[in-house]
A and B are shown apart, each in its own frame.
Chain A
Amino acid sequence: MSARLTAARAGLVSCEACQLLSRPASAESPGYCRRCGEKLEFRRPASIETTWALVIAAAICYIPANALPVFTTITLGEEEPDTILSGVAFLYSSGSWPLALIVLIASVMIPLGKLIALAYLLITVQRGSIANHKERTRLYRIVEFIGRWSMLDVFVAAFTVALVQLQPLTSVEPGAGVLFFAAVVVITMLAAEAFDPRLIWDAADRQQAPLG
Chain B
Amino acid sequence: MADEPDSSVLPHAVVTRKKRLRISIIWIIPVLAALVAIGIFIQRIRSEGPTVTIVMKDATGIEAGKTFIRYKDVRIGLVSAVELSEDYTKVLVKAKIAKHAAGLMVADAKFWVVEPRISLSGISGLNTLLSGNYIGFQAGKSSDSQTLFFALDEAPIITDEPGRQFVLKTPTLGSLGVGTPIYYRRLNVGQVTGYTLAPDGQSVDVSIFVHAPYDKYVTTSTRFWNVSGVNITLGADGVNVRTESIAALLAGGVAFDVPEFATGDSKPAPAKSEFTLYRYRAIAMKEPDPVERRYVLYFNESVRGLSIGAPVNLFGLQVGEVTDVGLAYDPKTTVFRPRVIITFYPDRLVSALPTGQRTRTGKSMAQMSPEERIRLLRRIVEEQGLRAQLRTGSLITGELYVAFEYFPDAPKVKVDWSQDPLELPVVPGSLASIEAKLGSILTKIDKMPLDAIGRDVRTALASLDQTLKDANLLVNRVDTQWVPEGTKTLEELRRAIADANQVVKNADTTLFSKDSPAPQDLRDTLQEITRAARSIRVLVDYLERHPDALLRGKPTEKP
Contacts and interface: CB of A to CB of B under 8 A. Distances in A.
B11 A61 contact: no
A33 B41 CA distance: 47
Interface string A64-95: 10001000000011100000000000000000
B540 interface: no
Greatest chain B CB density within 10 A among A23, A33, A183 is at: A23
A64 B38 CA distance: 9
B130 interface: yes
Chain A binding site: helix, strand, loop or mixed by DSSP? mixed
Contact of A29 (B12, B15, B29, B131): B15
Interface size class of A (residues with CB under 8 A): 35 or more
Interface string A19-57: 001111110011111100000100000100110011011
Contact of A23 (B13, B30, B130, B131): B13
B239 to A, nearest CB: 51
B29 A53 contact: yes
Contact of B32 (A12, A31, A57): A57
Interface residues of B, number: 24
Interface in B1-40: 5, 7, 10-18, 24, 26-27, 29-30, 32-34, 37, 40
Given A46-B24, A57-B32, A22 B17 contact: no
B16 to A, nearest CB: 7
Given A46-B24, A60-B34, A180-B37, A40 B13 contact: yes
A170 to B, nearest CB: 12
A60 B33 contact: yes
A61 B41 CA distance: 12
A63 interface: yes
Contacts of A32: 13-14, 16
Contact of B40 (A23, A33, A68, A183): A68
Contact of A22 (B10, B16, B30): B10
A194 B25 CA distance: 13
A176 interface: yes
Interface string A155-190: 000000000000000000000100010010001000
A50 B24 contact: yes
A30 B15 CA distance: 7
B18 A78 contact: no
Nearest to A77: B131
Interface string B107-132: 00000000000000000000000110
Given A61-B37, A180-B37, A49 B16 contact: no
Given A12-B5, A29-B16, A187-B33, A49 B40 contact: no
A51 B400 CA distance: 110
B10 A21 contact: yes
A31 B14 contact: yes
Nearest to B34: A60
Contacts of B32: 57
A183 B461 CA distance: 131
A31 B30 contact: no
Contact of A49 (B7, B10, B26, B37): B26
Contacts of A176: 40
Nearest to B131: A78
A25 B14 CA distance: 6
Contact of A50 (B5, B26, B41): B26
Given A24-B13, A34-B13, A76-B130, A57 B30 contact: yes
A78 B70 CA distance: 12
Greatest chain A CB density within 10 A among B16, B27, B30, B34 is at: B30
A198 B32 CA distance: 29
B30 A60 contact: yes
Contacts of B15: 25-26, 29, 31
A21 B4 CA distance: 12
B16 A23 contact: no
Nearest to B31: A57
Contact of B29 (A22, A40, A180, A187): A187
A169 B32 CA distance: 38
Contacts of A76: 130-131
Given A12-B7, A21-B5, A23-B7, 10 more contacts: A12-B5, A23-B11, A31-B14, A32-B14, A34-B11, A40-B13, A54-B30, A57-B32, A64-B40, A78-B130
Interface of A: 12-13, 21-26, 29-34, 40, 46, 49-50, 53-54, 56-58, 60-61, 63-64, 68, 76-78, 176, 180, 183, 187, 194
A-B residue pairs, 9 tightest by C-beta: A31-B13, A25-B13, A57-B30, A57-B33, A56-B30, A25-B15, A53-B26, A34-B11, A57-B29
Interface of B: 5, 7, 10-18, 24, 26-27, 29-30, 32-34, 37, 40-41, 130-131
17 contacts: A12-B5, A12-B10, A23-B10, A23-B11, A29-B17, A31-B14, A31-B16, A49-B24, A50-B24, A50-B26, A53-B27, A54-B26, A54-B30, A56-B30, A60-B30, A63-B37, A77-B131
